[in-house]
Amino acid sequence: IEENPERAKSTITQLSNIFRYSLRIDRVETVPLDEEMRTVVDYLDLEKVRFEERLNYKIDLDPVTKGVEIPPMMIQTLVENSIKHGISKIPEGGNILIRSKSNGECLLLEIENSGEIDLEALNHSSGYGISNTKQRLNLLFGGRSFFSIRNVEDKDKLSKFVKVEIKIPLGGNCNESTNS
């Protein structure tokens, strides 16, 4: 606090925003994407204090998707997993990319992070983040939503990353209707 009072003040504000959001979302089933993303940015900025130059992120939201309703804390939980199970395990750190777009029928969300995921261990995990996300999507949207997580290798950049894809219907079906 004494070393950088302005940064300390900003950090306290970000923490307050996250706490306020988490208290409010207990009473709602969905929130607009842009509201969720404000909390995600606060969270990423707090983690940036901890990881410094080891954490970089980019957010690319199609303006048309910002009002689409999503389960609260869904993206934040997946980003938290990206840092905990990906970025934090890489000595040089890594990147997170969050992207949204619409195909007219669905909100398409992608979250990518540097690293790899052990899919076998994930299937036997006692963690709640991914299983909770799948359950909430299924409860809210039935078989009309889609969730996947996989490892991707970028041969051009000689890097590996984890990619989460989520489709949420805007009213109709999203063509693919399985949670994997």
* Max Cα-Cα span within the chain: 55
175: pLDDT strictly greater than 70: no
> Token pair 């997946």 is at which residue?
78
42: pLDDT strictly greater than 80: yes
pTM over 0.85: no
pLDDT of 109: 98
Exposure string (b/e) for 134-163, b if CB count within 10 Å is 16 or more?
bebbeebbeebbbbebeeeeeeeeeebbbe
| 114 and 161 Cβ atoms separated by less than 8 Å | yes
Average pLDDT, the chain: 85
| 39 and 76 Cβ atoms separated by less than 8 Å | yes
pLDDT tens readout for residues 140-152: 998 899 999 999 9
Q: What is the mean pLDDT of residues 27-42?
A: 91
pLDDT of 6: 79
154: pLDDT strictly greater than 70: yes
pLDDT tens readout for residues 51-102: 999 999 999 999 999 999 999 999 999 999 999 989 999 999 999 999 999 9
Three-state DSSP at 113 gives strand
119: pLDDT strictly greater than 80: no
